[in-house]
Chain A
Amino acid sequence: DIQMTQSPSSLSASVGDRVTITCRASQSISSYLNWYQQKPGKAPKLLIYAAFSLQSGVPSRFSGSGSGTDFTLTISSLQPEDFATYYCQQSYSTLPYTFGQGTKLEIK
Chain B
Amino acid sequence: QVQLQESGPGLVKPSGTLSLTCAVSGGSISSTNWWSWVRQPPGKGLEWIGEIYHSGSTNYNPSLKSRVTISVDKSKNQFSLKLTSVTAADTAVYYCARVLSAGALNFDYWGQGTLVTVSS
A interface with B by C-beta (< 8 Å)? 1, 31-34, 36, 42-46, 49-51, 53, 55, 87, 89, 91-92, 94-102
Contact = CB atoms under 8 A, between A and B. Distances in A.
B95 interface: yes
Given A94-B59, A96-B62, A96-B63, A49 B45 contact: no
B106 to A, nearest CB: 4
Contact of B45 (A43, A50, A96, A102): A102
B27 to A, nearest CB: 15
Dominant secondary structure at the A interface: loop
A96 B106 contact: no
A51 B105 CA distance: 11
Nearest to A45: B110
A91 B104 contact: yes
B104 A55 contact: no
B48 A97 contact: yes
Interface in B87-115: 95, 97, 100, 102-108, 110-113
Interface of B: 36, 45-48, 51, 59-63, 95, 97, 100, 102-108, 110-113
Given A50-B104, A53-B102, A96-B60, 17 more contacts: A31-B103, A31-B104, A34-B106, A43-B95, A43-B112, A44-B95, A44-B110, A49-B108, A50-B102, A89-B106, A89-B107, A95-B62, A97-B48, A99-B45, A99-B46, A100-B45, A102-B46
A99 B110 CA distance: 16
Given A94-B59, A96-B61, A51 B46 contact: no
A97 B45 contact: no
A98 B63 CA distance: 12
11 contacts: A31-B104, A32-B103, A32-B104, A36-B107, A44-B95, A91-B105, A91-B106, A97-B105, A98-B48, A99-B45, A102-B46
